[in-house]
Amino acid sequence: MCDKGSMAQYTRVSGFVGLITLQNPPVNALSAAVRQGIVDMVERALSDPIVKSVVICGQNGNFCGGADIKEFGTNMSGPPLVPMIDAIEAANKPVVAAIEGSALGGGLELALGCHYRIAHSKARLGLPEVTLGLLPAAGGTQRLSRLIGVPAALNLITTGIHVTAAQALQLGIVDQVTDHNAVEVAVTFSLSVAGQSMDARRISTYPCPLPSDFDALFEGVMQKVRQSARGAIAPVACVQAVRAAATLPYTKGMEREQELMATLFTSGQARAQQYCFFAQRAVGRWRMPSGARWETSKPMPVHKAAVIGLGTMGRGITVALAQTGLSVVAVETQEKQLMEAKQAVSGMLERGAKRHGVAPMLDRISYSQNIQAVAEVDLVIEAVFEDMALKTEVFQQLSAVCKPGTLLCTNTSALDVDKLASEMPNPELVVGMHFFAPAHVMKLLEVVYGPRSSPQAVATAMQLGKKMGKVSVAVGNCRGFVGNRMLMPYLQQAFFLLEEGATPELVDRALEEFGFPMGVFRMSDLSGLDIGWRVRKRDELVEPDMASGQSARIRQGSRYSPLGDLLCEQGRFGQKTGQGWYRYDKPGSRVARSDPWLHSFLVEYRARHGLVPRSIDHQEVLERCLYALINEGFRILEDGIAAGPEDIDVIYVFGYGWPRHRGGPMFYASMVGLAKILERLEHYQQAHPDVPYLQPSSLLRRLVASDSPPIHRWREVIKKYQSQL
């Protein structure tokens, strides 16, 4: 017996079991139609006298990915989740959830309403609502706390982590884990408990186990959560909801859960985080200005890869490749570096393997000092010093050594990928793979294509990035690509603010209160001030052109702050030297302390240049630094370097610590209002006419003139703008 009409299919199996299968590919999200289907089919199963038990499962080996996120922000119709799940829990016949694939969010809440949960060993479970700016408001906070206790529930709900079936069994979330067909196991099991009372299986009736140090626990967790949330409100609301589970009867706890959800549901933060969810997926559907795109570009198979240069980046890239399961040839010319790299890579692999309970992939890597060793690889990632002549030489050697068709990738952070390609016999095989430090940890990868890169090369790098667990974004070739290019005006404004009267502490505090994990000066100290110094030297910015008679703070016709250069001249390179914008107890230590020397230095510097310090507030710091960065983002869109605002936002959220609850710089701009951004840029540009980065971009003006369309419609305006150029 079978009903295939709705998005929840009903079948009678084994004679007496009503099997309800959610059908909403690809993840069986609980759309209005699915919820209606479940309500109807549960009612049908419970009222059928032949049916003794019920099993709920998902189509195509996937239980349920939760509420349909696309429905949020629309006029949500259809039966609500809470009464639907309550009705399942109240059923007088056993209802068993057969969990394959994922049971996430509303999917797990549905399972928690069932009397038993049987999971396949490969299943993953979790309540990731917090990552969408929400909380599990279909009883998740109330039932999970009762089922597994407050500390474990807090961990799952405030972080949104997914747990494996084995972990879920250990925590008590599922009753059984099987390597066999979970639906068949659940059907057999449901018959074995048919006819029994389900009273003891209704989680909402359980008392919430209270830890003895209840108040201290919540206080500690709340403090930790507030600190790591960096202004995000959902994690805090999650703690409050679990606290309600621990202190209130179920129905009152549910009311509190709903109340907290109501605040989150309509918040700008939830919109921002849900935008990030879809943006992260949208960047995988890349397209190049030539028209080449992801659907039509077939990646080349990559089984064996090489890394050239085993410094900071090369080591991390080697680890990330080995962890993906590839064979890696790691080449380093300096013997001492090679020895150190071997040790460092082994250490990283061993620590990673221990964390994940797997074997380290040490035997996947072979080391060499000779570039000839890469002859048989499918793809090479070069990570030698940031020097065009050296990179060109290495690429020429690679072209001579590698088998035909090998993809040649550079991890340069800012050099011209197309220029490098143009020196090669097969420029179509050259792309940038710009990893972020530490490369085995950071999620972002910029895949940089030039006009000569073949779509196949881009597809291969994008696919490899995905396999490595990276969020890969395809971007065009320009100075600094997307991320570092936008960083330049941000850094520049921060320097100017110091000249005008701010301190590193003030600027950093404003940015950290905004939600960055580190302000610009603490971040610079961490990365090393010498990196930017080297770039500025190469750009011939460091030496003032005295002969021109211009001020020492004007270089190449624009305002320039030599503050960073002056620090480097003193050997203050940041954490590594124990002094930078802050001081550190010793070289390499991480705690940044205010430095009286730096403050006196700023006072003297301003006096020397006739700069009268003024009081600068957080608002100005944010506007100057962030709007200048956003303005460059619009220029990047205008130039076609990024295909859309989502690409920029994903790069900033995953690579530069932009707070996810603010959605990325371009989303943030859309929330602030484009007219306001334009007005403030014009204001600052008038005050600082010698700063080209403050000149509002034409695209921004165009968007404002087009009544500031919502962000999902910017691409239309960009396309029109570009076609008129």
Ligand X SMILES: NC(=O)C1=CN([C@@H]2O[C@H](COP(=O)(O)OP(=O)(O)OC[C@H]3O[C@@H](n4cnc5c(N)ncnc54)[C@H](O)[C@@H]3O)[C@@H](O)[C@H]2O)C=CC1
Beta-carbon contacts of residue 715 (< 8 Å; ≥ 6 apart):
643, 644
Supply the minimum distance, in Å, between the C-beta of residue 211 and ligand LJ3UWUTL: 25
Q: Which of 18, 94, 133, 136 binds ligand LJ3UWUTL (CB under 6 A)?
A: 136
* Of residues 2-61, those binding ligand LJ3UWUTL (CB under 6 A): 26-27, 29
- Residues 269-308 as x/- pattern, contact with ligand X by CB under 6 A: ---------------------------------------x
- Residues 71-110 as x/- pattern, contact with ligand LJ3UWUTL by CB under 6 A: ----------x--------------------x-xxx--x-
Nearest 5°: CA angle at 126, between 122 and 130? 150
Neighbours of 413 (CB within 10 A): 19
> Does the active-site annotation cover 512?
no
Q: Catalytic residue among 89, 100, 129, 332, which?
A: 129
What's the token pair of residue 92?
Answer: 């007088």
Supply the minimum distance, in Å, between the C-beta of residue 184 and ligand LJ3UWUTL: 23
Supply the minimum distance, in Å, between the C-beta of residue 442 and ligand X: 9
Q: How far apart are CA 48 and CA 46, in angstroms?
A: 6
Give the range of 258-266, 314-322, 382-390, 512-520 binding ligand LJ3UWUTL by CB under 6 A.
258-266
Count of residues that bind ligand LJ3UWUTL according to CB under 6 A: 29
For the chain, how big is the Rg over CA atoms in Å? 29
Nearer to ligand X, 436 or 516 (CB): 436
Supply the minimum distance, in Å, between the C-beta of residue 480 and ligand X: 11
Where does residue 101 fall: left (phi above 0), alpha (psi -120 to 50 degrees), or beta otherwise?
left
Q: How far apart are CA 465 and CA 480, in angstroms?
A: 19
- Residue 473 in contact with residue 445, Cβ under 8 Å? yes
Give the range of 87-95, 183-191, 379-387, 474-482 binding ligand X by CB under 6 A.
379-387
Nearer to ligand X, 56 or 430 (CB): 430
Beta-carbon contacts of residue 537 (< 8 Å; ≥ 6 apart):
none
Neighbours of 700 (CB within 10 A): 24
What's the token pair of residue 138?
Answer: 């279909």
Beta-carbon contacts of residue 446 (< 8 Å; ≥ 6 apart):
432, 433, 434, 472, 473, 475, 481, 482, 483, 651, 655
- Which residue has its beta carbon closest to ligand LJ3UWUTL? 105
Q: Which of 83, 216, 354, 385 binds ligand X (CB under 6 A)?
A: 385
What's the token pair of residue 398?
Answer: 């690679």
Q: How far apart are CA 676 and CA 96, in angstroms?
A: 54
* Of residues 306-335, those binding ligand X (CB under 6 A): 308-314, 331-334
* Of residues 396-415, those binding ligand X (CB under 6 A): 411-413
> Does the active-site annotation cover 335?
no
Give the range of 257-265, 361-369, 668-676, 693-701 binding ligand LJ3UWUTL by CB under 6 A.
257-265
Supply the minimum distance, in Å, between the C-beta of residue 393 and ligand X: 7
Nearer to ligand LJ3UWUTL, 160 or 316 (CB): 160
Q: Which of 261, 283, 305, 394 binds ligand LJ3UWUTL (CB under 6 A)?
A: 261
The bridge status of strand 327-331 relative to strand 304-308 is: parallel
Give the range of 37-45, 147-155, 377-385, 625-633 binding ligand X by CB under 6 A.
377-385
Q: Catalytic residue among 89, 100, 109, 257, which?
A: 109
| Residue corresponding to tokens 């696309």 | 70
Question: Cα-flanking dihedrals φ and ψ of residue 156, to 5°?
Answer: -65, -45
Beta-carbon contacts of residue 443 (< 8 Å; ≥ 6 apart):
469, 470, 471, 654, 655
137 binds, among ligand LJ3UWUTL, ligand X, none (CB under 5 to 8 A by kind): ligand LJ3UWUTL
Does residue 575 interact with ligand X by CB under 6 A?
Answer: no
For residue 192, the surrounding DSSP H or E stretch is helix 182-192
What's the token pair of residue 174?
Answer: 């599922």
Nearest 5°: CA angle at 107, between 104 and 109? 100
- β-partners of residue 448 are 432, 475
Ordered DSSP codes for 536-569: HHHTT-SS--GGGT--TTEETTEE---HHHHHHH
Supply the minimum distance, in Å, between the C-beta of residue 435 and ligand LJ3UWUTL: 21
What's the token pair of residue 165?
Answer: 């079936």
Q: Which of 138, 260, 306, 384 binds ligand X (CB under 6 A)?
A: 384
In the DSSP assignment, the letter for residue 371 is: G
Where does this chain bind ligand LJ3UWUTL (CB under 6 A)? 26-27, 29, 65-70, 81, 102, 104-106, 109, 128-129, 132, 134, 136-138, 140, 261-262, 265-266, 278, 281
Active-site residue set: 109, 129
Judged by the rule CB under 6 A, the positions of this chain that interact with ligand X are: 308-314, 331-334, 337, 383-386, 390, 394, 411-413, 435-437
